[in-house]
Structure 1
Amino acid sequence: MQAPLPLTRDLVLIGGGHTHALVLRMWGMNPLPGTRLTLINPGPTAPYSGMLPGFVAGHYQREALDIDLVKLARFAGARIVFGRVDGIDREARLINVTGRAPIFYDVASVDIGITSDLPALEGFTAHAVPAKPLGAFATRWDGFVQSAPTSPRVAVIGAGVAGVELSLAAQHRMEQAGLNGHVVLLEAGEAALRDIGDGARRALLAQLEQKRVELRVNAKIARVTNNGVTLETDEDIAAGFVIGAAGALPQAWLGDTGLQLSDGFIDVGPTLQSLNDPAIFAVGDCAHLTHAPRPKAGVFAVREAPVLVHNLRAALSGGRLQPYHPQKDYLKLISTGHKRAVADKLGLRLEGDWLWRWKNQIDQKFMGKFRELPVMTSVPEVPTRAALGLAEMLQGAKPPCGGCAAKPGAHVLSDGLAGLQQPMRSDVLQGAGDDAAVLRHGDGVQVITADHFRAFFDDPYLMARIAAVHALGDIWAMGAQPQAALATLILPRMRDRMQEQTLREIMAAASEVFREAGADLVGGHTSVGPELTVGFTVTGLHSGAPVGLSGAKPGDVLLLTKPIGSGTIFAAEMQGQARGEDVAAALGVMAGPLGTASGILAPVAHAMTDVTGYGLAGHLLTILRASGVSADLSLAQVPFMQGALELAQSGIRSTLYPDNAVMQAQMAGFDEGDPRCALLLDPQTAGGLLAAVPPEHVDATLAELSAKGVTAVRIGVLGEGPPLIGLG
């Protein structure tokens, strides 16, 4: 089998705008070997601006606006980093991302859009909602409509195309919701819609009048308040929701990059490269086309994509770049709220429901490019001549899971360790069998454990954080105080500078986690291999007897500190079937440390463990076997990660699931058709603590956990009998 090709160049896309979304799709169809592609975006989705007025009007659901960047990145073979860029160190070729280690680039492209925020207007930031960025605006608008009073009032600042379109959409949405709403559209100038043809302008003004949208011109705003807008004439205009649709402002951090700018927008030439830094490209609304200035419009962003992807490939491979020549004019289709639209072309007055249907068709076709990605598979074909058993192992195989779902089955582990000798040293108090080995250390004990996993998400920084939390889980499960850690890393083959930066990201993330836990990262070992693997050996100290598996008693209540479902979610993500929002939420849960929970649970728990590869059921069974008790588990109380139940219901399973499924024999009431049962066997990575707590301490313990910001739930109770789990 051919080894993966080494990586030699880093390409970073800053922002998930329309151009970059199309670049990712094109890249997935024809990637450039040797390139590591990275997308940095604040969240897992990017809203499509063309459908925003339709959403405001109620024609589309919120999710219809979103391009799922996680699925798109998986298709493109790109890593996605959730974060907000706040600067570029062009000399060091580093992109600064708030709250994490910088990201190295050889070539970067910027597609971060614009904002309609008006920070200079008193009270705007506190009391108004800019129409851009779109995602935050869409969420706020949806919440407003859901909780609006009977007669809501909306004020829209700016009577350009965007302001008129949003005003008509807002008025329609409130009417459809049975609300007696009123929209006032405020324009500081002498006339509305100054930048479109006369025919379209007359049609839109007629629509404003017909829909009883109040248009106010020469309405210069002094301030925005909690109750609406105050004009410079001291007139107060009441509004429960104020929309900023005026102006097109660049992101402020661009001003500190040293890039040549025009009014804060990145100056680019025909090849879409910065005029004073050819290693940086810029597209969409954040760029200024110096060779052919154009208004800020999505049509240009979409048509830049083929040129940009060609030029990025050329810049990375030594090829010849192409120029981008934008069209001089374009058709504007402007929706009017009630599934009608106006066309702006050649000064003509064109309007009707047929234009809205045409616009909807264009929008749906664009979004269809990202909803209908080809299914990618990495399962190798069976050679004509191969060893016996190979075809059977590959038949119906799915992409191999990472994380704790990549470990061998429980029977493999137990059989393989069966011959392990008992400790011969008197200071080794306990070897294999519990969460960590226990060594005598002065008047107390030292616990030691090792854990690692192959990456299941292509972000070294985030994987290092989760791997550190995962390794510390065994220390926290025994109630010990983390002491020191050694890293064991396998880095993919790549050029030295890229390996160096990847190592910096990993060590920065891990050091943060261990220092927060009170431990030092003191060194480790690295090697080079086919894929990223991150692991740590961790020690901890305990002044007395650590919490183990064998102390649970009948009547104890089972408390769990994290929801389950990570194995299913990331099995689905590898197959391109998980929603990006669910993936991001799961990563947030997994990266959460357990130190606070351990400090509260350990003093009262009779037994405790962390939930990892053998699932909630498997780790509960280790307590039951060690303690000689049974358990009644309440399926209704078990918490599940966002999206996990739906994926389990659809049949998604991790590659470790079949091995874990043998535990069904020890689970009374297990129902194959119930996704909650399947998720009990789901392998977890960096899962929560499972503690057996005496009933008299449960309420106080839960209250203390809640006060410290830890979510924990009671999921069952222990009883007399053999080590079986009853489900109810």
Structure 2
Amino acid sequence: MHTPYPLTQDVVLVGGGHTHALVLRKWAMSPLLGARLTLIDPNPTAPYSGMLPGHIAGHYDRAALEIDLVRLARFAGARLVLGRAEGLDLAAREIHVSGRPPIRYHRASLDIGVTSRLPDLPGFTDHALAAKPLGAFADRWEAFCTNPPPEPHVLILGGGVAGVELAMACAHRLGATAKVTLIEASDTALAGMNAKTRDTLLGEMAAQGITLRLNARAAEIGADHVRLEGGEALRADITIGATGARPQDWLAQTGLARVDGFVAVDDQLRSLSDDRIYAVGDCAHMGFAPRPKAGVYAVRQAPILYHNLRADLTGRARKRYKPQSDYLKLVSTGRKAAVADKAGMRSSGALLWRLKDRIDRKFMAKFHDLPAMSAPDLPRLRAEGVQAALSGKPLCGGCGAKVGAGLLSDVLAGLPSPARDDVLSRPGDDAAILRHGAGQQVITTDHLRAFVEDPYLMTRIALQHALGDVWAMGADPQAVLSQIILPKATPAVHAGMLAEITAAASEGARAVGAELVGGHTSIGAELSIGFTVTGLAPARAIGLDGARPGDRLVLTRPIGTGVLLAAEMQAAAPGQQVAALWELLAADQSKTARHLAAKAHAMTDVTGFGLAGHLARLCAASGTGAEIRLDAIPIHAGAEALAAAGHRSSLYPANRALVPDWPETTPRHELLFDPQTAGGLLAALPPGDPVPGTVEIGRVTADPGLRLV
């Protein structure tokens, strides 16, 4: 986050539920100076519960009901942490997230929903599917519908509104051959609903051939059956648990006041036991005005939570939340019809489906159609050239923020050759080579402008990026020093950021056999992370100059990083694809690098100059050419489509100029010049067996020049 103002307060939203999604959107319209907003969620998208039955029935595709949390966080200027919260330390004001250091907060809010899993029911975890969390349920259901058995048997546990709605959605999606059974442990389905509405829904279920079993309690779930108490076994090709809301298990260990496991809150949505913690949505218990678990309350809590969080940080008065006593319930019936219930009145039909569809689509449009935020106006009086310099796309992060190769070459051309005999130099080497005993030591440094606001994740990626130069020389990483630029903030905020950065750097260094031994930290306009890395090589470090005609060219990672990151900065890249990219960029390449080091004649890492630029440098140093099979080059998911839509890294023009003779006819051609952050290794290998973790993309030729085949 680039800000001229110091960060002084951390607001952490745990969970991407409906309330928090609306708070993020509203925050984007009016950011609070000095506050850093963080969202923690295990997934890059969050499904909207109101459209889930329609999705199960086949009326909506998955994208229609998903809130893209990656796009929303970027829009709000928020840090996104993709991880699962698993604990809360009230004394230390820290949120524990699986697999990473704790995240500190000044104010925090919980919107983690509920689960419908039955942990005490034998076989449920292994063989059944919980209706909540919604994302995992939707994924498993789609997989089942892709190749269902000829006469699918669906068994649903729970005769409440959710179970009845899901039963009708399943029956509609699977068609007349499906056998859907709904099991309810009590003697009444749809308890709490008025009699007229209940009769209408039960009649609709019967008309669709759905079997309702009352006073039936599941005793065991098997792979293809559900055994009831009493011994009767019912066939079940898929078993779905919709038995009601259960709190997340980890809440019991937080020390927060709870009712039936849910966080007890006051009428300002604050925890009764800690006024720095808020809870909203289904995970909260509103003892001041008890209500059933329903999305309508979560939606209407959003403006109150938004106001109260900001009031806490600015010293203003908070507001009270007053939930409505009743609301319009629209229950879909599988087909494009719905039943309405409010204040004892009941109606049904296709018109109500259209009303429900319009309400749901209007809600989702808030997140699918995020408004463009205009840049602040420039001062009237300004130096010539400022407007033109700012008229292009925003400066990319990662390798896309680097200076072009042409300018670098011009500057470096004037450097003298090393005067020391223990400092070895070869044209274009990825790292400096030092004579070291019987072998050689290599040393390199690299620095990245942050493109994700999560310091822990950005550190992991920056370290992998810096290690690439050492691996490209066939060396084993030895020592790591960090160079960190932190944005302006209070000492407390800086301490939290440095704790996350240091943990990521130390863990990452040790994972590849190296040690973090120190570094340097300064304060600047925005977060930047870099590393100096030394490595030990055998008698001669691998360079660019050893490729031989006939060698195979292999690549270890897809290309397209720059396009995806440039599109994400403009909230145009799908969150699922961005999250997959982040995970890959932070992954360790050391095992594959060691395989390559044992065989490679020449090697480089593919980073800022793009695949074409780095290959051209390798061939120039080796006095060879190369043939590349365009269709063999792996591409990051989504990158080609984004390139076709016109997204490019800000470094693209400089890279394109490196290989002016190559064609540029398709988006796939463009990706050859795309700068890569934490990119793969490109190696020239002798003919032989495939190397695990690599893709063969072409061969080295005796004729100079690069050709596409």
TM range (shorter): over 0.9
Aligned mates of 2:305, 2:196 — CA distance in 1: 35
Question: What is the DSSP-based 3-state SS (H/G/I as helix, E as strand, rest coil) of the residue aligned with 1:132?
Answer: coil
1:394 maps onto 2:394 in alignment: no
* 1:625 paired residue number: 620
2:387 partner SS: helix
Instruction: Write the distance in 1 (CA, Å) between the matches of 2:9 and 2:481.
Output: 29
- The CA RMSD over aligned residues, in Å, is 1.2
Q: How does 1:260-299 map to 2 (within 5 A)?
A: 260-299=257-296
Question: Among residues 458, 461, 469, which one is paired with 2:464 in the alignment?
Answer: 469
Equivalence for 1:107: 107
- Answering whether residue 343 of structure 2 is matched by residue 346 of structure 1, we say yes
Note the C-alpha offset of 1:31. 1.2
Match of 2:233 among 219, 236, 252: 236
1:311-341 CA deviation, whole Å, 9 max, x = no partner? 0000111111110010111110000000000
Q: Is residue 551 of structure 1 aligned with residue 546 of structure 2?
A: yes
CA deviations over 1:394-434 (Å, ceiling 9, x no partner): 23x11110101100011111011111111111111126730
Is 1:493 the equivalent of 2:494?
Answer: no
**Conserved in 1, the CA contact under 8 Å of 2:160 and 2:244?**
no
Identity of aligned residues (%): 56
Q: 1:671 aligns with which of 640, 664, 673?
A: 664
Normalising by structure 1, we get a TM-score of 0.96
3-state DSSP of counterpart to 2:345? coil
For 1:367, the equivalent position in structure 2 comes to: 364
Match of 2:697 among 707, 715, 721: 715
2:563 paired with 1:568: yes
CA distance in 1, matches of 2:268, 2:169: 38
CA distance in 2, matches of 1:386, 1:681: 35
Aligned-residue offset at 1:603: 1.0
- Residue pairs, 1:70-469, within 5 angstroms: 70-175=70-175, 180-376=177-373, 378=375, 383-395=379-391, 397-430=392-425, 433-469=428-464
Confirm whether residue 518 of structure 1 aligns to residue 510 of structure 2: no
Cα distance in 1 for partners of 2:630, 2:187 equals 64
Aligned twin of 1:727: 708
Query: CA offset at residue 247 of structure 1?
Result: 2.0
Q: Distance in 1 between matches of 2:95 and 2:416?
A: 51
1:383, distance to aligned residue in structure 2 (A): 4.5
Are 1:507 and 2:502 counterparts? yes
Partner of 2:69: 69
Query: Structure 1 residues 294-303 or 347-356, which shifts more?
Result: 347-356
Question: By how many angstroms is 1:547 displaced?
Answer: 1.0
> What SS is found at the alignment partner of 2:529?
strand
What SS does structure 2 have at the residue aligned with 1:489? strand
SS of 2:336 mapped into structure 1: coil
Structure 1 gaps of 5+ residues are none
- Cα distance in 2 between the residues matched to 1:593 and 1:725: 30
Distance 1:377 1:472, change over 3 A: farther
For 1:461-514, what per-residue CA distance to the aligned partner results, in whole angstroms no more than 9, with x for missing partners?
000000011001000111101000110010000010110110010010011110
Deviations along 1:92-120, one digit per CA (max 9) or x if unpaired, are: 11111000111110000000000000001
Q: CA deviation at 1:381?
A: 5.0
Q: Which one-letter code corresponds to 2:671 in the other structure?
A: L
Check the 8 A contact 1:377/1:575 in 2, yes or no. Answer: no
**How far apart in 1 are the matches of 2:643 and 2:511?**
34
Paired residue type of 1:54: G
Instruction: Tell me if structure 2 keeps the 8 A contact 1:117–1:132.
Output: yes
Q: Which amino acid aligns with 1:545?
A: R
The reply to whether residue 682 of structure 1 matches residue 674 of structure 2 is yes
Deviation by residue 1:699-724 (Cα, 9 ceiling, x = unmatched): 2x33xx1xxxx3x21111111112x2
What amino acid does structure 1 have at the position aligned with 2:163? G
Greater alpha carbon shift after TM alignment, 131-140 vs 145-154? 145-154
Whether the 8 Å CA contact 1:560–1:690 is kept in 2: the answer is yes
Cα deviation, residue 676, structure 1: 0.5
Q: Provide closer, same or farther for how the CA distance between residues 316 and 382 of structure 1 changes in structure 2, counting only shifts above 3 A.
A: closer
Which letter does structure 1 place at the counterpart of 2:124? F
C-alpha displacement of 1:63: 1.4
Distance in 2, matches of 1:538 and 1:157, equals 56
Query: What is the CA–CA distance in structure 2 between the aligned matches of 1:120 and 1:259, rounded to whole Å?
Result: 24
Deviation at 1:349, TM superposition (A): 2.9
SS at match of 1:273: coil
Residues 588-631 of structure 1 deviation map (CA, whole Å, 9 limit, x = unaligned): 11111221111101111111111101111111111110011111
Change (3 A) 1:119 1:129: same
Q: Tell me the distance in 1 between the aligned counterparts of 2:442 and 2:568.
A: 35
Residue pairs, 1:3-18, within 5 angstroms = 4-18=4-18
What amino acid does structure 2 have at the position aligned with 1:687?
G
Q: Distance in 2 between matches of 1:645 and 1:273?
A: 46
SS at match of 2:657: helix
Shift of 1:578: 0.7
C-alpha distance in 2 between matches for 1:345 and 1:526: 60
Q: CA deviation at 1:377?
A: 5.0
Query: Could you tell me whether the CA contact under 8 Å between 2:649 and 2:674 is conserved in 1?
Result: yes
Aligned residues: 708
Counterpart position of 1:33: 33
1:382–1:390 contact (8 Å) kept in structure 2: no
Are residue 606 (structure 1) and residue 619 (structure 2) matched?
no
Cα distance in 2 for residues equivalent to 1:313 and 1:625: 58
**8 Å contact 1:377–1:399 — kept in the other structure?**
no
Q: Which whole-Å CA distance do the structure 2 matches of 1:496 and 1:457 have between them? A: 21
Whole-angstrom CA distance in 2 between matches of 1:643 and 1:233: 53
| Consecutive unaligned residues in structure 2, runs of 5 or more | none
Q: Contact 2:428/2:617 (CA < 8 Å) preserved in 1?
A: no
Partner of 2:630: 635
> Could you tell me whether the CA contact under 8 Å between 2:44 and 2:575 is conserved in 1?
yes
